Structure 1
Amino acid sequence: MIGHNPPPSHQSNTTATRHQLTHNQLVNFLRFEIDKAETSATAVLIMKLRRAKRLDAIIGDTSTQSINHYTDQLLDNLLRDADRYAHFSDEEICLVLPDLANNAQSILAAIKILSELHKSFIADDYPVMLRPHIGIANFPELGRDAGQLLMYADIASDIAATNEQGYHVYQPEDRIKTETYSGLDIELGKAIKANELHVHYQPQINIQTGRCVSMEALIRWTAPGQRVINPATLIDIAEKTGLINTLTLWILNTALRHTATFLKMSIDVGISVNLPPKMLKDKELPQIVQQALDIWGVPASHLTLEITESLVIDDYESSLTMLSRLRELGIRLSIDDFGTGYSSLAYLKRFPVQELKIDILFIRNIHNSREDKNLVRTIIDLAKNFNLTTIAEGVEDQETFDLLRDLGCDLVQGFLYSRALSDTDFINWYRQHTLALHVISLDASITPKS
């Protein structure tokens, strides 16, 4: 059996560091360590680097190679002699840490690696700041199957991408949670046809006036059995099952229908709808959008389509053509999660976008990270130079609001003002918010000057 072979020699790969193996070698190494282990623990770590591919798309393979070289050197210095790792892709590295005294050591190793990789460095004269996250699966708690351990570590890395620590240790309940979603692809298709989904709206606030000028449409779904499905999971299911275009059109039409109702009630707000990557490749998209605007009677200027930065980079010329056609309709275009790539100057001067949406990751850490604060300031200054609007998402406290106002940000959205609301709740919120602004304005006008 493969698992009983001696551990592969990392020296067989002449380009590798002293800890680096190929993909297959690492799997064999893991199997060998599992088979020979008696009382010691072994940990599988899967680390994902979010930015390498996006940087590569703009400044070439050399930069990705430089990033890989940097991470290889860093791991070579951090790892113990017994540890091994392999690149599963340019953005994914798998590590195997054998002979651990206990599982806590795998967490300490992850924290140490994350701490070092969060430090900025230079790759081909470009400043790079990686934002890795690590999933951890521990042997013997999770069984002796190497393939299962790798799968568990991968699931854990996806969970780690959503938490502040940047790492997650796989737990049996994580598997239960994933199994909970089995069969939802069929249920989702039925729910779309039966109009059983809901669109909620999160207000977007003008940072200078305090007025609600627009809102973002966000999908919500309570599946059969009263299971509230995480929106990210819902989108993931739709993408994997080919339902994403159908779902997006349903969201677009529902959002425009509600916007038309709001306008009739003198609630003059714009609407932002997220556009998935596959949708932008549909040559009939401009006609579809125009038809939806005509059906519901919403002015094109009230609609903003949000696209992800990576989407723009991955298919540059095709994206430019499609976005230009969409812009000709009179709608607005926004780059979502801006700041998570390195292509800004390369496409901003050519792409017909009107708005940059600053990634929530930078906003969340803006008070604790000088790099994030400087990055937000740079994005805002960059936007002003290109005559673009900036919007910050995830604003949850007055301190963050005040800082963003001082930095010159235009719009904010987040729990400081409101969570995402149903259409009827949004109407009530908007009226109360507008009334409160009016009262504040009256108080200010009648207060005698000293």
Structure 2
Amino acid sequence: MSPDRSDAPRDGAGDAPGRKRASPRIAPAALLEMLAARCGARASGRTALLVVALNRSDRLAALAQDASNQYVLAEVARRVQSMLGPADRYAFVANDELWLVLGDLADESLAELAGQTLHDTLQRPIRARRADGSPAVVQLRPVIGGAWTTMRTLADPMSMVAAASQACARARTQENQLLISRLDDDAALIRRDELERDLRAALHANQLDVHFQPQIDLASGRCVALESLIRWNRADGSAVNPALIASVCEERGMMGALTQFVLNNALRNQKRWEGQGLDLSVSVNLSPTVLSDAAFPMLVSHALATWGVPGERLTLEFTESAIAQNEQPAIEFMGQLRALGCRLSLDDFGTGYSSIAWFGKLPLDELKIDRSFVRELESSERNTPSRTVGALIGLAHAYGLRVLAEAVESPRVAAMLAAAGCDRAQGFSFSPALPAQAVADWCRRHDEASLLSRSEAASIR
């Protein structure tokens, strides 16, 4: 079939001529409405939601909206539609991600079979053509997470989305890159309600904690900044996954309170470390919901004044998905924060939503290379960065941006990134996230060891 020539495949692409049936491709919002309706219906069928990360080899072409991107999206749509049943639906939520709702599944094994079939179908190479007519082969490395439920009434379908998204994240560590999570009954919702209640109480009582992961300047080897990461141990001693904390706060209207807690904790500790002779900046991740809070820039201004921290010592991280949801309001929001002196970082760039045109529009200071790109370096047999990573670093520098790589897990990859011109890195190769009280000693030991190592290397040369 001839692929559709549009930014994304049209609804109904792939239907036989003259055939009248509902298009299996719908908008993301319509898919969520459909999921809510199915989960709320008292029917005998079971429902599965699959979240598919395509992990395209042509991610830079997709970002630049290259002509081959249109071809690839249409071919992905054709393959997906070839395996769907009459009642199944799917939606592209980004160039690199799609969701599928599968209905009337008798048991969990059928959801896993559907996921495996989809994985095998998408894994076949796609032969496309670039704008100049030259051939291009695009390889997908799909990772699929799913949530399957027997629930007759699911009051909160977003819990199913969260479960499928978390399964997709965990599936990256699975040999077959596929993981289906089962939501058996209303007990799952009861546990989530209990988690919300405990989390609200912990926030109110300041019982959460913030740990800090060092960010290393690759040229000097010094620790120059720290990323603030939420941590919570419940009363029974069990640690709660940070992604689950964020998910519950997003769903239950607590993200503003959580962000304020992390922000004040980070600034208070930054001021304490400054008093101990350490020159460190701190970074805080911002949720998409925060971008809709018109009062947030004023809150940041007040927090900076309260703790006596200059704006340039605070970096605020935005995800590309958050900006893509409301681009122009996001640009204005970021401008207000930049006016306070804050540094702004774009996280997860290249994983689906972003466009190279953003570099000329957004008031950015830093580009954070997503962990999926860094993992490619970990598995590479070569000792040079991939073309994608090298291109991202070059692109960021062309726009005057600092480049930070996350999830760096070995000295070999750190050396590769440094050789490619990456400015900063963080990850287990340097240190996990540390309790605030351990940061000062760790920084001194690390910086002294780095200085000694570089001095010894210089004397040998």
**TM-score normalised by the chain length of structure 2:** 0.75
Structure 2 residue 403 is the aligned partner of structure 1 residue 402: no
Aligned pair count reads 413
Deviation per residue, 1:35-84 (Å, 9 max, x gap): 9xxxxxx99562435799x99x9999x9998666322322356x4xx966
User: CA 1:248 to 1:129, structure 2 compared with 1: closer, same or farther past 3 Å?
Assistant: farther
Write out aligned runs for 1:409-448 (5 A).
409-444=422-457, 447=459
Letter in 2 for 1:432: R
Q: CA deviation at 1:317?
A: 1.5
Distance 2:189 2:438 in 1: 32
Which of 81, 85, 88 aligns to 1:86? It is: 88
Q: CA deviation at 1:406?
A: 2.1
Letter in 2 for 1:414: G
User: CA 1:275 to 1:417, structure 2 compared with 1: closer, same or farther past 3 Å?
Assistant: same
Letter in 2 for 1:71: V
User: CA 1:120 to 1:416, structure 2 compared with 1: closer, same or farther past 3 Å?
Assistant: farther
Secondary structure at the counterpart of residue 409 of structure 2 = coil
Which of 387, 391, 396 aligns to 1:378? It is: 391
Secondary structure at the counterpart of residue 160 of structure 1 = helix
Q: Which residue of 2 aligns with 1:196?
A: 207
1:51 and 1:130 in contact (8 A); partners too: yes
Secondary structure at the counterpart of residue 306 of structure 1 = strand
Q: CA deviation at 1:153?
A: 8.1
User: CA 1:220 to 1:448, structure 2 compared with 1: closer, same or farther past 3 Å?
Assistant: closer
Secondary structure at the counterpart of residue 345 of structure 1 = coil
Structure 2 residue 296 is the aligned partner of structure 1 residue 292: no
Secondary structure at the counterpart of residue 335 of structure 1 = strand
1:121 and 1:129 in contact (8 A); partners too: no
Q: CA deviation at 1:206?
A: 0.9
Deviation per residue, 1:106-139 (Å, 9 max, x gap): 56424303423x868569999987775434578x
Which of 203, 227, 236 aligns to 1:225? It is: 236
Distance 1:123 1:98 in 2: 40
Letter in 1 for 2:167: I
2:143 and 2:178 in contact (8 A); partners too: yes
Write out aligned runs for 1:41-440 (5 A).
46-48=50-52, 69-75=74-80, 79=83, 86-91=88-93, 92-95=99-102, 105-106=113-114, 108-116=116-124, 132-135=142-145, 155-156=163-164, 158-164=166-172, 165=174, 166-171=177-182, 180-341=191-352, 343-368=354-379, 373-440=386-453
> Bigger radius of gyration, 1 or 2?
1
Deviation per residue, 1:341-362 (Å, 9 max, x gap): 3533222112110100011111
Q: CA deviation at 1:439?
A: 2.5
Deviation per residue, 1:87-115 (Å, 9 max, x gap): 24333223579899x86855642430342
User: CA 1:131 to 1:178, structure 2 compared with 1: closer, same or farther past 3 Å?
Assistant: farther
Secondary structure at the counterpart of residue 330 of structure 1 = coil
User: CA 1:147 to 1:120, structure 2 compared with 1: closer, same or farther past 3 Å?
Assistant: farther
1:83 and 1:98 in contact (8 A); partners too: no
User: CA 1:384 to 1:213, structure 2 compared with 1: closer, same or farther past 3 Å?
Assistant: same
Secondary structure at the counterpart of residue 333 of structure 1 = strand
Q: Which moved more, 1:152-161 or 1:239-248?
A: 152-161
Q: CA deviation at 1:207?
A: 1.2
Q: Which residue of 1 aligns with 2:8?
A: none
Q: Which residue of 2 aligns with 1:4?
A: none
Secondary structure at the counterpart of residue 298 of structure 1 = coil
Distance 2:121 2:371 in 1: 23
Secondary structure at the counterpart of residue 434 of structure 2 = coil
Letter in 1 for 2:88: A
Distance 1:325 1:152 in 2: 33
1:395 and 1:413 in contact (8 A); partners too: yes
Q: Percent identity at matched positions?
A: 31
Q: CA deviation at 1:160?
A: 2.1
Distance 1:14 1:179 in 2: 36
Q: CA deviation at 1:366?
A: 2.7
User: CA 1:385 to 1:111, structure 2 compared with 1: closer, same or farther past 3 Å?
Assistant: same
User: CA 1:273 to 1:73, structure 2 compared with 1: closer, same or farther past 3 Å?
Assistant: same
Distance 2:24 2:251 in 1: 35
Q: CA deviation at 1:274?
A: 0.7
Q: Which moved more, 1:90-99 or 1:202-211?
A: 90-99
Letter in 2 for 1:70: E
Secondary structure at the counterpart of residue 267 of structure 1 = coil
Distance 1:224 1:258 in 2: 25
**TM-score normalised by the chain length of structure 1:** 0.77
Q: Which moved more, 1:164-173 or 1:301-310?
A: 164-173
Which blocks of at least 5 consecutive residues in structure 2 are unaligned? 1-14, 94-98
Letter in 1 for 2:448: L
User: CA 1:146 to 1:420, structure 2 compared with 1: closer, same or farther past 3 Å?
Assistant: same
1:47 and 1:132 in contact (8 A); partners too: no
User: CA 1:223 to 1:181, structure 2 compared with 1: closer, same or farther past 3 Å?
Assistant: farther
Q: Which residue of 2 aligns with 1:13?
A: 21
Q: CA deviation at 1:300?
A: 1.4
User: CA 1:67 to 1:339, structure 2 compared with 1: closer, same or farther past 3 Å?
Assistant: same
Q: CA deviation at 1:218?
A: 0.3
Aligned CA RMSD, in angstroms, stands at 4.4
Secondary structure at the counterpart of residue 301 of structure 2 = helix
Which blocks of at least 5 consecutive residues in structure 1 are unaligned? 1-8, 36-41
Distance 2:127 2:283 in 1: 33
